[in-house]
Amino acid sequence: MKKINNFFTRVKNHKPIDDADGAKNKFVSSYATGFVQQICLGIDENIPKQNFIHEPEMTIWVKPIKTYWRLFIDLLGNTHVGDIKSIQGSVKKQVIKTDTKNKKRKTTTKIIDGYSYVKRAVPKRPFFSDLMQISLYAHATEKKPFLIYANHYEYAVFTEENCEQLKPENRKKYLNHLITLQKTWELKLEKANDINELALLCKPDFSDIEKGDWFWKSIPDEYIKRLKDVYNVH
């Protein structure tokens, strides 16, 4: 499966932003086979057997949006359309205690580069943003949707048979949420005369930058400076 190969490639080529990120990448790499097994198991045990195409590209126009959506669908089958979500844990600095009597380090936890891995369970219900996404996919393809969440030891599959939010009458609600979200961006683009006006309609939360949020750690300093220049917040 192309997506699985891409997953291994991204893990292998990842450039860590700090020691914790490097350790997490090594953990994810060591658990990669488990991720793949759970994804395949979830599909085999819950979705009717069929041939799937991986990441076909589609475009769709949905009124009243004045432009199209460009879609790259994870799995498109004869009767079903699906999206795969990997659930990865986090890492924490591990302090290894020493047994002063026996002079031996005591730990039963797997350690990589001084960090341990904190597992994250699969969700008990789909995330809101994923419901918007898969509702659009179902609308575009006219096929039954499914969402699969997997970590390296368990999976959760949501379909219209076991998930109220994915029933046809409820998918329309999530598609409307997505249309509204897109409409707000469309109006911003229409109202703004230049990039500076557009920026003022989309002011980010700079507290995340000040806190050193994980996302902003990967953004080069020169880009953050340019961002602050736009908003004059130096």
Tokens of 182: 């897109």
SS3 assignment, position 2:
helix
Residue 59: how many other CB atoms lie within 10 Å:
10
Tell me, yes or no, whether 200 lies in a domain.
no
Burial of 73 (0-12, 13-18, 19+ CB in 10 A): buried
**Domain limits for position 97:** 2-160
List pLDDT tens digits, range 157-179.
999 999 999 999 999 999 999 99
Tell me, yes or no, whether 41 lies in a domain.
yes
Please say whether the beta carbons of 108 and 97 come within 8 A.
Answer: no
From its phi and psi, is residue 40 left (phi > 0), alpha (psi between -120 and 50) or beta? alpha
Please say whether the beta carbons of 202 and 187 come within 8 A.
Answer: no
The whole-number pLDDT of residue 154 equals 97
List pLDDT tens digits, range 60-91.
999 999 999 999 999 999 999 999 999 999 89
The whole-number pLDDT of residue 83 equals 97
Tell me, yes or no, whether 215 lies in a domain.
no
- Predicted confidence (pLDDT) at residue 34 exceeds the cutoff of 70: yes
The whole-number pLDDT of residue 221 equals 86
- Determine how β-strand 144-150 pairs with β-strand 80-86: parallel
Tell me, yes or no, whether 211 lies in a domain.
no
User: From CA 26, how far away is CA 134, in angstroms rounded?
Assistant: 30
Tell me, yes or no, whether 175 lies in a domain.
no
Give this prediction's pTM. 0.84
Tell me, yes or no, whether 17 lies in a domain.
yes
Tell me, yes or no, whether 233 lies in a domain.
no
Domain count of the fold of the chain: 1
Tell me, yes or no, whether 76 lies in a domain.
yes
Percentage of the chain with pLDDT > 90?
A: 57
Q: From residue 88, how far is each of 37, 44, 63, 123 by CA, in Å?
A: 15, 22, 36, 12
